[in-house]
Chains A and B, each alone.
Chain A
Amino acid sequence: MSHSFLSMFRRKAEPKIPAGSEAFEVLSGDPLAMRFNGWSDRLGAFGERLVALNGSTEDEFLAIGARLHDFYARAGAVERMSQDVAERIMGEDISRDMAALREILDRIAGYLAHAEQESEQSTATLTRILDLVSHVDEPLDGFKKIIKNLHMLSTAVKIESARLGEGAAGFNTLADDVERLSISIREKSADILREKGSLAAMIEATLARVTALEAEQRSNARLILDRTRESLATLTTVHGRCSAAAGSVAACSSEIAASIATVVTSLQFHDITRQQIEHVKEALDDMRGLLAASAVAPDLAAGEVADVCELQEAQLDHAREELVAAVARVVENLRDIARKETLMSDETRVMAGSADQAGSSLFADMESGMVQVAEVLSESARANRELAGAMAAVVSSVGDIATFVTDIEEIGSEIELIALNSQVKAANTGEGGAALGVLAEAIQHLSVEARSRTGAVSEMLRKVTAVTESLCHEGDRESHALAAEIEGLIGELKGLLGTVRGMNETLLELLGRMDGEVQGLSVDIEAATGGVSVHNATNRIVGEVMGELCDLVREIRRVAPASTSPEREARLRELAERYTMHSERKVHASVFGGAAGGAQAFVPAAAAAGLGDNVELF
């Protein structure tokens, strides 16, 4: 407060202002002086209104100042939350996940290539088996002729045996053996053909499944690789997003700090304008003193009162403008803090890849993608197990056919024995058994052909068995390796998924808290600024006083026109030199021009350079 200002306009010789009209008794004879009482009362009333105004405005400033602590703290909390989000997104967990995901991507690619190769091999093997099986028909067809010949030989042996009578009794048994053999060959051939047909159908079905699986694997492979790459790209872009958004957040923080600084500076204008208004009130009091003491030259006193009132009108206008502008800056900057906080929250959401508050985020998308990859890998594992089962069924079926090889080979041995037996018996029968000897020789020829046929069939079946056995061994080995690989990948994906899910939940929780804090802050700032009315009251009251001062000046000017005198100029110069504030001197200069005298600006010493033009260090 400028207490020295009380004496700014007061002449040392002037008496104190007497109360009421008694102060002007000595001037009662002068028509001009007759007005002094009314003017003094009006000046007194203006002063009282200004005092009342000064006493009523600080509470609102203090209330805003008190809230500023709270707003600053909460803005800082939001900024820290934003930094927390950035640190989490750019932290070690993400780097580790990126490395793990890259490794998984490599292994998935390896697994898919492996599975595709395995599928192609299975297809080739099954096709080879099918081809071999289809060639079993040809040697089996040859058995039809052997069966027919055996049957005919059996009949011929029986006829010849009957013709020879008792001497060829053993040939009946031989005929039965030949007949039984022909039936056995027919049955075995039929069994082999039936089993071969069943095997071919099974292989064709398995081939179809392998082909379908191959197509599915290829389709899944694309999906898996695409999704995993997307997830990896997501993680890769996180750093880029963070850098850009962190820049925006930092810019917001700087702007918020600047806004708070502006509010701090602006709130001081209450004290500044309070002093200016106080100085005006004191100047008006001084004029009342002048009116009370100007018995000798009332016209000069009236002129000076008008001059000073005109000056105070300008000082009030300046004070009013400064206060209204300061309050506007306070309100605007506080609201700007709320806007910047919202922007900071939005930028943080961008940083976290979360565009809304419904739980959607970069990491949620990534989590979804990884769940899909794990599901597709599980499906792939199931399909591989199914294929391995189908292969095992093929191997089992081929095993059944292999038992027929032994049977066929036994037929070859048996027919040879029958042929040998018939030759021995024909020789024992003597010349009468010559015909039987021919038949025995025919059986012998047939045994050679049968041996050849059974050899071809068993060779074919051995090939099928051999190929199938290799399929069986490879299939088992590959199947187990693939199963282990898939299990490993799924396990690691689930582990990674847990981390990503945890990150997502943490981020959403942080973002939610941040949104809540920002919304609460915005509401509170709006409530705090919406109720600010000090500038309106100041504007209105000061405006009214200015209007009335203006009226008073006009009234005085009508009866006491402006005049100049060396004394007046000296007093105004003295007035200007007594101002404490540079702004007051400037206003004075604007009203009285050169009479302002000391309207120089505050010039700080060089030592304080860089601290501002209002700072000087001694």
Chain B
Amino acid sequence: MAKMIMTVDDSASVRQMVAFTLKQNGYDVVEAVDGKDALAKLAGTRVDMVITDLNMPNLDGIGLIRGVRANPSYRFTPIIMLTTESQDGKKAEGKAAGATGWIVKPFKPEQLVAVVKKVLG
């Protein structure tokens, strides 16, 4: 059974490219438009990994990570930040919140797939 990965981004074109890349490599993908939407969908869907943007309306990436980690079922679920943000401070904040890794946009498909394979084992 294919692993389910959630892509969270307020940019439809980024979600589209993440979904395209992952689906071509055999993963199932669920999309969420922001952190709030992601948490709602996580409640009803079994997700093996989350790839999220940082800056989003309603609930940003850091808030999303905190929300996900608060759920015992997702305590060890890999969460990768995919953002244009490259400041060390933000990275440290993400890491402290429970992020597994950080990718600065734009990503190359092979990079994303390599990261997914690495963190999903």
Chain A residues proximal to chain B, CB less than 8 Å: 1-5, 58, 61-62, 65-66, 68-69, 72, 260-261, 264-272, 274-275, 579-582, 598, 602, 608, 610-612, 614-618
Known contacts A269-B106, A612-B108; decide if A617 and B13 are in contact (CB<8 Å).
no
Q: How far is the CB of A577 from chain B (nearest CB, A)?
A: 8
User: Is B107 touching A268 in the complex (CB atoms < 8 A)?
Assistant: yes
**Cβ–Cβ < 8 Å partners of B105 in chain A:** 268, 271-272, 614
User: Is A264 touching B109 in the complex (CB atoms < 8 A)?
Assistant: yes
User: Is B13 touching A271 in the complex (CB atoms < 8 A)?
Assistant: yes
Q: Which of A65, A68, A272 counts the most chain B CB atoms within 10 A?
A: A65
Check B103 for interface membership: any CB of A closer than 8 A: yes
Q: How far is the CB of A274 from chain B (nearest CB, A)?
A: 7
User: Is B17 touching A617 in the complex (CB atoms < 8 A)?
Assistant: no
CA distance A531 to B110 in the complex (A): 29
For chain B, what secondary structure do more than half of its interface residues adopt (helix, strand, loop), or is it mixed?
A: mixed
Selected from A68, A602, A611, the residue in CB contact (under 8 A) with B111 is A611
Please name the 7 residue pairs, one residue from A and one from B, whose CB atoms are nearest each other, closest first.
Answer: A268-B106, A271-B11, A617-B101, A614-B104, A602-B86, A65-B16, A61-B13
For chain A, what secondary structure do more than half of its interface residues adopt (helix, strand, loop), or is it mixed?
A: helix
Check B115 for interface membership: any CB of A closer than 8 A: yes
Known A-B contacts: A271-B11, A614-B111, A616-B102. Give 8 more (CB < 8 A): A1-B55, A2-B55, A58-B12, A65-B20, A579-B87, A582-B104, A611-B114, A614-B107
Question: Within residues 38 to 70 of chain B, which ones have a CB less than 8 A from any CB in chain A?
Answer: 55-57, 60
User: Is B99 touching A268 in the complex (CB atoms < 8 A)?
Assistant: no
Check B77 for interface membership: any CB of A closer than 8 A: no
User: Is A618 touching B102 in the complex (CB atoms < 8 A)?
Assistant: yes
User: Is A274 touching B108 in the complex (CB atoms < 8 A)?
Assistant: no
How many A-B contacts at CB < 8 Å in the complex? 117
Check B14 for interface membership: any CB of A closer than 8 A: yes
**Cβ–Cβ < 8 Å partners of A610 in chain B:** 114
For A581, the closest partner residue in chain B by CB is B84
**Cβ–Cβ < 8 Å partners of A72 in chain B:** 20, 24
User: Is B111 touching A264 in the complex (CB atoms < 8 A)?
Assistant: no
Check B31 for interface membership: any CB of A closer than 8 A: no
Q: How far is the CB of A186 from chain B (nearest CB, A)?
A: 107
| CB<8 Å pairs between A and B, sample of 21 | A3-B57, A58-B13, A62-B12, A65-B13, A69-B20, A72-B20, A264-B17, A264-B108, A265-B108, A265-B109, A266-B106, A267-B17, A268-B17, A268-B105, A271-B13, A271-B14, A272-B105, A579-B87, A608-B101, A611-B115, A615-B115
